[in-house]
Amino acid sequence: MDDGQVSMDFLMAITIFALGLVLLISQVPMLFAPLQTVSTDIQPVAYRTSMILVEDGGIYNETTGYITSNWEDPEGTGENYSQNCINITNYTDNVKRIGLAMSTMELGWSSSSEDIVPNTLSVNKMKALQDWQEDTANQSKIVKKLGLLVTYNNNPINYSYNISLVNFSDNLIPNSSAPLLQIGDSIPTSGSVTVEKIERIVAIDNTTGLTGNRTIAGHECAKLVVYVWR
């Protein structure tokens, strides 16, 4: 016979092998899906947290319905504030969101006290947040006020965080024994935990008198460093 013959056993073996190879290749991306989900989930959460802190002044909602960004001044006694309206009763519960952006009133600008200056942090707000950290009863509330307490399909997602204000040499401001802002958990250095880091260059209001920091266009600047993991 002049024509070549291929046995049926060989054809079946090649077909099964090809199908198996296709199925294996299609399943490879699924092996890395859990790792990709964690990474892509934490990065936007870390960025959102840094954005809230740097570009938002916060929200304080009185029981009377009055809303203000001066959450750090519960008695309304700030030197540049024109209204003494915030009630100290249920103070921490009335704070709906924590933001560190300073009010234009602190700069002496003739505008609403609710106008804020993005990327310029208020020392008073940073001190208030640090006080929350040092009060054990309020530590758990920081997670909620920063939007880090969320649920997915009725299941809680627990995010850990570490937030600090450092100079451009990565040293705490003003120093490690009495930092202006260092809150959250210890950053994991081992294991399989995925940690996302966001750095934001920020200006600090002109009442600080801090030394050793870099100035940009006449404004004292530092770095707000946000770590998030779970």
Mean pLDDT score of the chain: 78
What's the rounded mean pLDDT across residues 69-91?
60
| Per-residue pLDDT band at 79 (split at 50, 70, 90) | very low
**Tens of pLDDT along 139-157?**
788 888 888 887 777 777 8
| Per-residue pLDDT band at 88 (split at 50, 70, 90) | low
Report how far residue 184's alpha carbon sits from residue 140's, in angstroms, rounded to the nearest whole number: 10
Over 60: is that where the pLDDT of 33 sits? no
| Per-residue pLDDT band at 134 (split at 50, 70, 90) | confident
Question: What DSSP character marks residue 6?
Answer: -
Over 70: is that where the pLDDT of 34 sits? no
What's the rounded mean pLDDT across residues 182-211?
82
| Per-residue pLDDT band at 223 (split at 50, 70, 90) | very high
DSSP state letters, 167-182: -TTS-BSS-TTS-SSE
**What confidence score (pLDDT) does residue 100 get?**
93
| Per-residue pLDDT band at 162 (split at 50, 70, 90) | very high
Residue corresponding to tokens 């266009």 = 217
**What confidence score (pLDDT) does residue 8 get?**
76
User: What is the domain partition of the chain in residue ranges?
Assistant: 40-229
**What confidence score (pLDDT) does residue 50 get?**
94
| Per-residue pLDDT band at 49 (split at 50, 70, 90) | very high
**What confidence score (pLDDT) does residue 52 get?**
92
| Per-residue pLDDT band at 4 (split at 50, 70, 90) | low
Output the six-digit token pair for 47: 């960025």
Nearest alpha-carbon partner for 102 in 220, 183, 23: 220
Nearest alpha-carbon partner for 207 in 117, 121, 128, 98: 121
Predicted model pTM: 0.73
Find how far residue 86's CA is from the centre of its chain.
Answer: 26
Over 90: is that where the pLDDT of 199 sits? yes
As a whole-number percent, the residues of the chain with pLDDT over 90 amount to 17
**What confidence score (pLDDT) does residue 6 get?**
62
